[in-house]
Each structure stands twice: as C-alpha cells, then as structure tokens.
C-alpha cells in the first residue's frame, strides 16, 4: 500500500469556480478562503504597461523587451482593484488566505444539573 501511495497523483485545487470579480470568496470545491490578487507589470525605464503572464509560478511580462524603449527590466505592481483598462495587461493570482480565528473557546452545560442556560447581560 505504501508504494501505491507514491504513484498517486496529488490533486491541487485550481479554484476555477471562484469568480474574478470578488475580492474574497470561498472555493466551492475545496472550501478554502481565496483572495483574488491582481498584478500588473510595467517597464522599469518608461513605465509602459506590459502584458503579464505567470511563468514558473512567477509573474513576468509576456515579451522580454519593452516595445516602447527596448529595455528588459520590469516592475511588478499589485493592483487593489481591477478596472476595465488594465484587464488586458493584468494577471490574476488566486491565493489561499488563512482563516481569521484559529483559537476559540467552547463551553457547554451538563444535562444532569438541570440548569436552563441564559444569556449574560453585558454591562
């Protein structure tokens, strides 16, 4: 059995059913909280927007050199919100965000004491 576990494909959720218009959403396939992050690459010299792609899990411009000035340097910029002008140049990264509350306190009342639970008034 252990040898067969090595050959099984480990499927990683791609979060394909999370829509890009929401800032945060839960993935219906895996249940994780997903943050849609938009990134844009610009030329380091002249600041022209370059079409971005994801290569080897890194955000990079599609072309190696700028069409405007010919330099190969680029700067990655994170966008707070996407607008219709930048949608052709930007790339979407779906990142898993941790849940806000990891520690919690739980209390209960034992049934043998026959106590009616009541809310405590906040003063």
Q: pLDDT at position 5, please?
A: 61
Task: Using the predicted structure, report yes or no on whether residue 42 has a pLDDT greater than 90.
Answer: yes
Task: Using the predicted structure, report yes or no on whether residue 39 has a pLDDT greater than 80.
Answer: yes
The total of other beta-carbon atoms located within 10 Å of residue 44's CB is: 13
Instruction: Say how many domains are in the chain.
Output: 1
Q: pLDDT at position 4, please?
A: 64
For residue 57, the enclosing domain spans 16-99
Task: Using the predicted structure, report yes or no on whether residue 43 has a pLDDT greater than 90.
Answer: yes
Domain membership flag for residue 62: yes
Mean pLDDT of 21-44: 91
Q: What is the 3-state secondary structure (H, E, C) of 104-122?
A: CCCCCCCHHHCCCCCCCCC
Domain membership flag for residue 51: yes
Domain membership flag for residue 95: yes
Domain membership flag for residue 109: no
Domain membership flag for residue 110: no
CA angle 87, 89, 95 (to 5 degrees): 75
Domain membership flag for residue 105: no
Distances (CA, A) of 109 to 103, 115, 120: 21, 8, 14
Q: What is the pLDDT of residues 45-77, one digit of tens each?
A: 999 999 999 988 899 999 999 999 999 999 999
Domain membership flag for residue 41: yes
What is the maximal distance between C-alpha atoms in the chain?
A: 80
Domain membership flag for residue 118: no
Q: Is the pTM of this model over 0.75?
A: no
Instruction: Spell out the residues 6+ positions from residue 109 whose beta carbon is closer than 8 angstroms to its own.
Output: 115, 117
**Rounded to a whole number, what is the distance in angstroms from the first to the last CA of the chain?**
60
More confident residue, 116 or 48: 48
């Amino acid at each position: 059995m252990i040898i067969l576990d090595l050959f099984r494909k480990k499927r990683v959720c791609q979060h394909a059913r999370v829509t890009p218009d929401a800032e945060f959403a839960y993935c219906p396939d895996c249940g994780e909280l997903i943050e849609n992050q938009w990134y844009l690459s610009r030329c380091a010299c002249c600041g022209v927007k370059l079409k971005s792609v994801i290569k080897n899990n890194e955000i990079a411009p599609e072309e190696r050199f700028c069409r405007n000035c010919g330099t190969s340097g680029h700067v990655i910029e994170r966008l707070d919100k996407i607008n219709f002008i930048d949608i052709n140049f930007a790339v979407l990264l779906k990142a898993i965000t941790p849940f806000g509350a990891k520690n919690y306190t739980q209390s209960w009342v034992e049934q043998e004491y026959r106590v009616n639970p009541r809310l405590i008034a906040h003063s």
